[in-house]
Structure 1
Amino acid sequence: MTGPSALVQQLAEGEHLPADWRAPFEHVDRARFLPDRVWARVHGGYAPVDRADDPERWKRLAYRDEPVVTQVEDPPGAAVALTPSSSASMPSIVARMLAALQVEDGHRVLEIGTGTGYNAALLAARLGAERVTTVEVDPGVAAAARRSLKAALGRAPAVVTGDGAQGWRAAAPYDRTIATCSVHDVPRAWIEQTAPGGIIVLPWGTTLRNGVLLRLTVDEGPEGPVASGPVVDDAAFMWMRAQAPPRDVMAVARAGGETHDSRTGLDPHVLGDDDAWFAAGVLVPGCQWATGQGPDGAWTLWLADAASGSWASVDYEPDAREYDVQQHGPRRLWTELEAAHSWWTEAGRPARTRFGLTVAAAAQHVWLDDPGTVVRAR
């Protein structure tokens, strides 16, 4: 069985769909918000799927609990796309984020990142279109969402074409704010436009790991409103375009340069642990990673910081107890990562859901267990 009811059943059976959100998910048909051409994940990238050419496959993608790429930046006609720029989020993630938002009847909501319009439609079905404002940076994406929302609901929420980092002050304050793109630096406008006591739900990441889901509560502070709250889930979304890290991680390493050579006893597989990975991302800011495969199970972990021109490599060899390290630039990125891993281990290997974020007027900082226990201030 394929269709809206089958998708709702999948979400309910997976315990992703709270009872108060079931009716909106039954009312809003995800397929009505997807373009006629989407891209499905294949080996090496994303392959186009056209509704006219393969309607059954297109329909299966529409009603699976999977993300669907709806826009790419690759040249037209590419057999396999490499650079997605917009997508329809995985429905179970959509449902969990809406549950985290804790909306109540009468609430007014600001959404950052309209995308297809599906999330805005669910909010409108729950609260009423007049209580939902959604902001989209891409004019073409915004126009398509307006058409889909009007066709599906009759009355569309306000769809604003603009920079999501600026929110939409004209309709503020909002009781709830939700972002469907990842950020690292939480825009001040979101906090200022959310009413005291209001909630902001957003995907948050570091250049090393994208990402987790934060639920921040807004309160008054001595220098203006402050937002603070815990990590409540995982949520890897496309970056807000203005905050997206450089895509070519290896560009820094290709520049070469004099290296500091050493050996390490820390297995580079440590980044395979999501909790260690999250902590490292917090403590080693600006660091990105890539891997290169060698023969017989050997591989290389690459770390790079484009801002400082620093890079590091660690060569993994099966059955080895120590690994060759090269580091270049003013930052010793592998040394920093080793220190971050030591801190995480000594702190009891805390799960990422024990961390949180506080955003004040002057800075934001990550904390562990309590807002007073700062991990790293920005």
Structure 2
Amino acid sequence: MGAYDTETDRLAAAARDALVREIDADGAFAGDPVWREAFAAVPRHLFVPYYYVAGPHGYERRWGESPDPQARARWVRGAYADVPLATRLRDGELLSSSSQPSLMARMLAALEVEEGDRVLEVGAGTGYNAALLAHRLGDDDLVTTVDLEPEITEAARRHLAAAGFRPAVVTGDGARGVPERAPYDRIIATCELSTIPRAWLAQCRPGARILTPLATGLLALTVRDAAHAEGRFLPTAAYFVPLRGAGRAQPEGVSFAGLPDGAREQETFRFLLALTRGTLDPREAYALWEREGTPERERYGVTVGGEHTWAWLDEPAGPYAWPLS
């Protein structure tokens, strides 16, 4: 089967409408209602011709060209579920995914895109997010998306072309940005980082906005110049595949030994642990978290200043501040 059949297209249109209504009801479009039109127009199923669903016996592969009509229907309905979809596995490790659409909507609204902005996306994934950006901006050339894996960028390029979009898709280390397409007004990352790459700031115009996952949160930075940026975390929790590239190791696990029962279930405490990994002992972090009234994410921020990058609670000058590696 070289193309999806009429029934699949009908199911996709109905499922897409339902997804947009669900995201709308969740309030994710409130920050910038223009994104509703983009999600209604861009067909997500073209970006996930197959994906994997975890089950009791491992991952089940769903694909759009199955000879079984019921299997195709399950695939298309799943493509429009408001959940992240595993799209690339290697030896059981998740390499790439299509993010939860409502989280994507919140991130895109928080990016505060304006007409004519040049946008760099770090983490091409399936290409779906780049398509939403290209639709919103009305000019494919304003959007650049980068990923380390050639197989991922090749697939993203195919998906984008199938949906009628042709932004710049680059294979490379996202932490180094894409200097040949700079300067950027907005940078959005769809993979988790442990710090803010200096190359991003150098490729931004003054006043640019960077939105990136960090320590299970979403950080929104305003760039002052090539060496300075500052901003706070959004209230939203966010869990993404880590950025891969030269010199980036997986973080070590955190021990909860000596902490009160239930500490690991406290979501905002786990955020503080991730933010202070390597600089605060978990017991010290727990004492601070309790003393400061179990602070929510939006009380935290990050400053990039010259040679140093640090996270902080309430104020950049402290008294609570921690270096980011």
TM over 0.5: yes
Distance 2:108 2:266 in 1: 27
TM-score by length of 1: 0.75
Counterpart pick for 2:132 among 115, 118, 122: 122
Distance 2:154 2:119 in 1: 20
Q: Report the counterpart of residue 97 of structure 1 in structure 2.
A: 107
Counterpart pick for 1:61 among 78, 97, 105: 78
Distance 1:44 1:235 in 2: 27
Distance 1:186 1:15 in 2: 29
Q: CA deviation at 1:241?
A: 1.4
One-letter amino acid of the structure 1 residue matched with residue 40 of structure 2: E
Structure 1 residues 282 and 24, CA gap change in structure 2 (3 angstroms): closer
Report sequence identity in percent.
Answer: 41
Q: Report the counterpart of residue 218 of structure 2 in structure 1.
A: 213
Distance 1:45 1:351 in 2: 35
Distance 1:282 1:16 in 2: 25
Counterpart pick for 2:244 among 241, 249, 257: 241
Q: Report the counterpart of residue 275 of structure 1 in structure 2.
A: 268
Counterpart pick for 1:179 among 189, 203, 223: 189
Q: Report the counterpart of residue 148 of structure 1 in structure 2.
A: 159
Q: Secondary structure at the match of 2:210?
A: strand
Q: Report the counterpart of residue 375 of structure 1 in structure 2.
A: 321
Q: List per-residue Cα deviations over 1:234-275 (Å, max 9, x = no partner).
A: 21110001335168x59xx9xxxxxxxxx95x4242121111
Q: CA deviation at 1:116?
A: 0.4
Distance 2:271 2:141 in 1: 38
Q: Secondary structure at the match of 2:163?
A: helix
Q: Report the counterpart of residue 139 of structure 1 in structure 2.
A: 150
Q: Report the counterpart of residue 39 of structure 2 in structure 1.
A: 25
1:280-359 maps to which residues of 2 (within 5 A)? 280-285=273-278, 336-359=281-304
Q: CA deviation at 1:44?
A: 7.0
Q: CA deviation at 1:7?
A: 1.4
Q: List per-residue Cα deviations over 1:26-52 (Å, max 9, x = no partner).
A: 1101001113x3101334753222331
Q: Report the counterpart of residue 8 of structure 2 in structure 1.
A: none
One-letter amino acid of the structure 1 residue matched with residue 316 of structure 2: P
Distance 2:286 2:57 in 1: 31
Q: List per-residue Cα deviations over 1:295-350 (Å, max 9, x = no partner).
A: xxxxxxxxxxxxxxxxxxxxxxxxxxxxxxxxxxxxxx9xx211221122222221
Q: Report the counterpart of residue 260 of structure 1 in structure 2.
A: none
Q: Report the counterpart of residue 14 of structure 1 in structure 2.
A: 26
Contact 2:198 2:227 in 1 (8 A): no
Distance 1:344 1:168 in 2: 38
Contact 1:284 1:340 in 2 (8 A): no
Q: Report the counterpart of residue 4 of structure 2 in structure 1.
A: none
Distance 1:12 1:108 in 2: 26
Larger radius of gyration: 1
Q: List per-residue Cα deviations over 1:114-146 (Å, max 9, x = no partner).
A: 110000000000112011111111111101111
Contact 1:212 1:236 in 2 (8 A): yes
Counterpart pick for 2:60 among 35, 47, 69: 47
Q: Larger deviation: 232-241 or 12-21?
A: 12-21
Contact 1:188 1:361 in 2 (8 A): no
Q: List per-residue Cα deviations over 1:170-200 (Å, max 9, x = no partner).
A: 1111000000100012111111111110100
Distance 2:308 2:59 in 1: 38
One-letter amino acid of the structure 1 residue matched with residue 29 of structure 2: L
How many residue pairs are counted as aligned between the two chains? 300
Q: Report the counterpart of residue 199 of structure 1 in structure 2.
A: 209
Contact 2:47 2:127 in 1 (8 A): yes
Pairwise CA RMSD:
2.1
Contact 1:38 1:49 in 2 (8 A): yes
Contact 2:63 2:72 in 1 (8 A): yes
Unaligned runs of 5+ in 2: 1-10
